[in-house]
């Protein structure tokens, strides 16, 4: 009579439900605006949307003051609180890795009898595309070359002297450090940050029966108060972080896609084209969110991962294949060997790398964690904690190592073997045009026109997958954890993201937005640390 007779946990007992008087949606307002129905959380929806509009208006009315303030705020945060970010990052890695080896690893998200909702491939494609797909496009070439030659992590000398002449004896160490220092930013640490948030949400939603909202993870700490203003503040912060993170990325992504289009087709690189790109990206994202998780987001993520894999294989085969294989091994070993030194929060002298890159990245990953973590949680039901952590932490880290070895390794090879003619050297070391670094590397390989075009397509589609999954997440949070709120609401958020990105791109507020992303990272670091304790409490009370 029903297709739910197997694989679904019993409503009580086995899954360790939390008993609370709170009913999901009890604070929601259901209304009809014209032909469209609404089902929104009061006050999370109104406060989030209102403050975001206020922020955009202030940034546009006082552009200079905003630029000055946020220009100061971002480095001030990443340099003053660098040790907080690094220390917290280490705690997240140790906590999640430790869970793999404890008996808690066998607890299943969704109850003992739950079966996974998605196949490994669909699941992995979605979490990877949402998690960092676009970053790999932007930083895959830039970062390894930059760390090898400029930022000098752990004091590793550059392979070039001040006049740009190669110093052969520095080459090997710098090359390995370039890869290791990049892998550090894209490996275990960011994925541990995502895993903490995702695990907390999945556990408290699927096993404890609380709404799929960030506040739910704080039930062991705040008790029933989590449904009041404490919880509102946590959820509003999560909405800010997600929307600011997405709009910043939309702005940066439009710039990179425009640079690529100029590089490939000679299309002018200006604000008009970038605004058209944002409208285009947002329109595709709208179609995707209306089609839903399975019909839109999942399909696009899988297409994306397939194209990315093809590009990876192409560069691997036509690039310096033997060197790439060697870089993969050496980069991984160097990462493991240098990990304690790279992740040391105290007494560092390589502040350019540690504060300018690591600290910034950690704040960035943390501010993105509500979005990516919630999305991962939503598609992770039915996995055991051990399976979840291995798949969210270790496999994406390995894929990142592979990506950096192929793209970064090829770029480094081009820089070192022909420094005079390398377009990568010209765009990363001699001058700094980060948005061109990927296309500069592809220029040194056969079929550059075709691969650069594919690169532009990938940049765009990666943004679509971030935009659509981000809209689903914001919609769920602002609907009080309901996943079946009326579709026009998610359309509103996806359009709102595009609109904020356009307004700020035109008004010059992207720097302010980046600073806001980092600013939300700091309080969220404390939120995530508290979540580790909440997860531990939650797992302890699960039947095993």
Partner 1 sequence: MYHKIMVPVDLAHADKLAQALDTAANLSSLYKVPVTYVGVTASTPGPMAHNPAEYEQKLLAFAKEQAERHGIETHGKTVVSHDPAAELDDALVKAVHETKSDLVVMATHIPNVADHVWPSNGGRLATHTDASVFLVRPS
The contact set with partner 1 (CB under 8 A) reads 1-4, 8-11, 15, 17, 23-26, 34-36, 110-111, 117, 205-206, 209-212, 289-296, 378-379, 381, 472, 481-488, 490
Nearer to partner 1, 180 or 377 (CB): 377
Residue 408 near residue 139 (C-beta atoms within 8 A): no
Which is nearest to 331 in space by CA: 407, 404, 395?
404
Which is nearest to 138 in space by CA: 350, 421, 441?
441
Look up residue 496 and give its two tokens.
């709102």
Instruction: Tell me the closest approach of the beta carbon of residue 212 to partner 1, in angstroms.
Output: 5
Which is nearest to 227 in space by CA: 41, 381, 52, 447?
41
d(C-alpha 366, C-alpha 513), whole Å: 15
Instruction: Tell me the closest approach of the beta carbon of residue 8 to partner 1, in angstroms.
Output: 4
Residue 215 near residue 479 (C-beta atoms within 8 A): no
Which is nearest to 433 in space by CA: 71, 186, 146?
146
Instruction: Tell me the closest approach of the beta carbon of residue 192 to partner 1, in angstroms.
Output: 24
Nearer to partner 1, 35 or 266 (CB): 35
3-class DSSP state for residue 108?
A: strand
Residue 338 near residue 154 (C-beta atoms within 8 A): yes
Instruction: Tell me the closest approach of the beta carbon of residue 413 to partner 1, in angstroms.
Output: 43
Nearer to partner 1, 6 or 64 (CB): 6
Instruction: Tell me the closest approach of the beta carbon of residue 214 to partner 1, in angstroms.
Output: 14
Instruction: Tell me the closest approach of the beta carbon of residue 528 to partner 1, in angstroms.
Output: 21
d(C-alpha 383, C-alpha 115), whole Å: 7
Look up residue 94 and give its two tokens.
């140790």
Nearer to partner 1, 285 or 515 (CB): 285
Look up residue 48 and give its two tokens.
């989030």
Nearer to partner 1, 39 or 262 (CB): 39
Nearer to partner 1, 348 or 381 (CB): 381
Residue 38: beta bridge partners? 31
Residue 506 near residue 491 (C-beta atoms within 8 A): no
Nearer to partner 1, 110 or 153 (CB): 110
Instruction: Tell me the closest approach of the beta carbon of residue 50 to partner 1, in angstroms.
Output: 24
Nearer to partner 1, 190 or 486 (CB): 486
Please enumerate in sequence order all residues whose Cβ is within 8 A of that of 512, keeping only pairs 6 or more positions apart, or say none.
59, 66, 67, 69, 70, 504
Type and span of the H or E element at 32: strand 28-33
Nearer to partner 1, 60 or 112 (CB): 112
d(C-alpha 502, C-alpha 496), whole Å: 10
Nearer to partner 1, 27 or 499 (CB): 27
The percent helix, strand, coil of the chain (3-state, each to 5) is: 75, 5, 20
Residue 302 near residue 123 (C-beta atoms within 8 A): no
Instruction: Tell me the closest approach of the beta carbon of residue 100 to partner 1, in angstroms.
Output: 25
Instruction: Tell me the closest approach of the beta carbon of residue 285 to partner 1, in angstroms.
Output: 13
CA distances from 171 to 163, 166, 432 (A): 16, 8, 21
3-class DSSP state for residue 318?
A: helix
Instruction: Specify burial of residue 304 (Cβ count, 10 A radius: 0-12, 13-18, 19+).
Output: buried
Residue 464 near residue 281 (C-beta atoms within 8 A): yes
Residue 215 near residue 231 (C-beta atoms within 8 A): yes
Nearer to partner 1, 190 or 373 (CB): 373
Residue 40: beta bridge partners? 29
Instruction: Tell me the closest approach of the beta carbon of residue 113 to partner 1, in angstroms.
Output: 9
Instruction: Tell me the closest approach of the beta carbon of residue 131 to partner 1, in angstroms.
Output: 19
Instruction: Tell me the closest approach of the beta carbon of residue 189 to partner 1, in angstroms.
Output: 28
Nearer to partner 1, 73 or 487 (CB): 487
Instruction: Tell me the closest approach of the beta carbon of residue 25 to partner 1, in angstroms.
Output: 4
Dmax (CA) for the chain in angstroms is: 77
Residue-wise DSSP of 513-530: HHHHHHHHHHHHHHHHHH
Nearer to partner 1, 379 or 399 (CB): 379
């Amino acid at each position: 009579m029903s297709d739910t007779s197997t694989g679904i946990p019993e409503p009580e007992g086995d899954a360790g439900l939390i008993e609370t008087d709170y009913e999901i949606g009890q604070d929601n307002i259901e209304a009809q605006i014209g032909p469209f129905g609404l089902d929104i959380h009061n006050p999370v929806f109104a406060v989030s949307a209102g403050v975001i509009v206020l922020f955009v208006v202030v940034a546009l009315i006082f552009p200079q003051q905003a630029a000055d303030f946020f220009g100061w705020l971002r480095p001030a945060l990443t340099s003053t609180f660098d040790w907080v970010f690094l220390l917290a990052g280490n705690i997240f890695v140790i906590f999640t890795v430790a869970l793999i080896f404890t008996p808690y690893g066998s607890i299943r998200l969704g109850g003992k009898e739950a079966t996974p909702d998605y196949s490994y491939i669909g699941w992995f494609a979605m979490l990877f595309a949402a998690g960092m797909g676009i970053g790999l496009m932007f930083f895959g070439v830039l970062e390894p070359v930059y760390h090898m030659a400029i930022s000098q992590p752990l004091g590793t000398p550059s392979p070039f002297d001040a006049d740009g002449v190669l110093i052969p004896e520095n080459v090997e160490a710098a090359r390995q450090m370039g890869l290791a220092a990049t892998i550090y930013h894209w490996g275990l640490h960011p994925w541990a940050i995502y895993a903490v948030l995702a695990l907390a949400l999945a556990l408290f939603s699927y096993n404890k029966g609380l709404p799929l909202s960030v506040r739910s993870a704080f039930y062991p700490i705040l008790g029933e108060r989590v449904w009041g203003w404490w919880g509102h503040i946590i959820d509003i912060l999560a909405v800010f972080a997600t929307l600011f993170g997405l709009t910043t990325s939309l702005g940066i992504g439009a710039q990179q896609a425009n640079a690529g289009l100029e590089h490939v087709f000679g299309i002018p690189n200006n604000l008009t084209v970038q605004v058209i790109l944002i409208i285009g990206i947002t329109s595709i994202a709208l179609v995707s969110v209306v089609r839903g998780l399975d019909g839109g987001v999942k399909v696009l993520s899988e297409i994306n991962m397939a194209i990315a894999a093809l590009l990876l294989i192409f560069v691997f085969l036509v690039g310096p294949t033997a060197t790439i294989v060697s870089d993969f091994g050496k980069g991984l070993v160097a990462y493991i060997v240098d990990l304690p030194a790279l992740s040391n929060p105290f007494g560092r002298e390589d502040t350019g790398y540690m504060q300018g890159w690591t600290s910034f990245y950690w704040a960035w990953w943390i501010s993105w964690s509500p979005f990516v973590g919630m999305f991962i949680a939503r598609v992770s039901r039915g996995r055991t904690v051990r399976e979840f952590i291995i798949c969210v932490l270790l496999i994406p880290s390995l894929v990142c190592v592979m990506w950096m070895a192929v793209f970064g390794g090829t770029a480094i090879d081009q820089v070192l073997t022909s420094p005079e003619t390398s377009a990568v050297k010209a765009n990363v070391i001699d001058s700094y045009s980060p948005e061109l670094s990927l296309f500069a590397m592809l220029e040194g390989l056969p079929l550059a026109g075709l691969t650069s075009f594919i690169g532009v397509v990938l940049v765009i589609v990666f943004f679509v997958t971030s935009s659509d999954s981000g809209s689903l997440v914001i919609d769920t949070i602002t609907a009080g954890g309901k996943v079946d709120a009326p579709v026009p609401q998610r359309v509103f958020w996806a359009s709102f993201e595009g609109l904020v990105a356009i307004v700020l791109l035109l008004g010059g507020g992207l720097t302010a937005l980046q600073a806001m992303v980092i600013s939300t990272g700091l309080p969220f670091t404390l939120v995530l640390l508290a979540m580790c304790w909440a997860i531990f409490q939650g797992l302890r009370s699960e039947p095993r």
